[in-house]
Amino acid sequence: MALQVGIVGLPNVGKSTLFNAVSNSAKAQASNYRFCTIEPNVGLVDVPDERLAKLEELVKPERVVPTTIEFVDIAGLVKGASKGEGLGNKFLANIREVDAIVHVIRCFEDDNILREEGAINPVGDKEIIDTELQLKDLESVEKKIARTEKMAKTGGDPKAKVEFEILKKCQAHLEQGKNIRELGLSKEDRVAIADLFLLTEKPVLYVANVDEASMLTGNKFSETLQASVKAENATVVVMNNSIEAQISELEDPADKELFLSEYNLTEPGLNRLIRSAYGLLNLITYFTAGVQEVRAWTIHTGWKAPQAAGVIHTDFEKGFIKAEVIGYDDYVKYGSETACRDNGRLRIEGKEYVVSDGDVMHFRFNV
């Protein structure tokens, strides 16, 4: 599944530094000037999962393949972007293509790092981004209202009338300075606006980029940010992007462990960020385990066995017959597929089986 998370924020808040830290396959330029990032950088990132290491220990495969998620480093946004200021149109088009947003917000003071917005103000910075996205969404909604209104009012198209009502609801919400994701639209309602790919409908998590001294405890700026997004029920990950970039460059596990201990960290903040992004997209992991390969696969929560099989290959879904399923805890408890089978812990499931996070699966199919 090619799912993308876009890293956004004002210029010089640490977006590209975070991307450098989080990405295993690409390095973004990180410099102290506006619009350092113009074309979005894209990097595939391994999703940290201790279960994969445990399965490797038990199965001893030839290779191990973690599941991944794509992070996209997008150009910094400025006030007026919705009207084309700075690189606004390009920035907003890039956001439209991602599945979720990681909003990086500066929560530290440093006179050496350029800031055009005045004193450090996390809530104000968040509102700048929110406002620009809302204005662009409002523009999109109003254009569709203009196209739909005549058909809705003549009564000749019942579908148009329903769409019109939903669009007007979205318009009123955006005019109040609120994001579409907070409107509580039903799955059916979302169909009416699906073609607009609204920016404020996308799920968001926040990164509070703090100074080194505040990595463990946060500071007054990150606390203010957390309080401001409480109503959104959004996750705020507190981290120092520069330190995380240094940690990510260490290839020797012993060196990395020593570095973490020096900062009293039990794991990189990046691990928390990646897991949070994975959860934000409502994703779970299932595994395939054999002597040739132990592999993690990404699917959406609630997917049934044939859909999960289709992630491996479309033929698996088309010709799905049955799935052999072992719960992760059972696999660890008994130590092998054979032992699970002998102890009655291997289940045969059909097309209606809803896959659980951590399932170890093998599919039977015929094409």
- Residues making up the binding site for ATP: 12-17
- Provide CB contacts within 8 A for 235, sequence distance 6+: 205, 206, 276, 279, 280
HEC string for 17-29:
HHHHHHCCCCCCC
Report the relative pairing of strands 63-65 and 293-300 from DSSP bridges. Answer: parallel
Residues at the binding site are 12-17
| Strand ranges of the sheet holding 4-8, from the earlier edge strand across to the other edge | 41-46, 68-73, 4-8, 100-107, 204-210, 236-239
Q: Whose CA is closest to 344, among 352, 354, 334, 353?
A: 334
Nearest to residue 303, comparing CAs of 359, 365, 366? Answer: 359
CA geometry: angle at 159 spanning 134 and 100, to 5°? 35
Number of H helices, E strands in the chain: 14, 12
Query: What are the phi and psi torsion angles at 97 (to 5°)?
Result: -85, -15
Q: Phi and psi (nearest 5°) for 123?
A: -65, -40
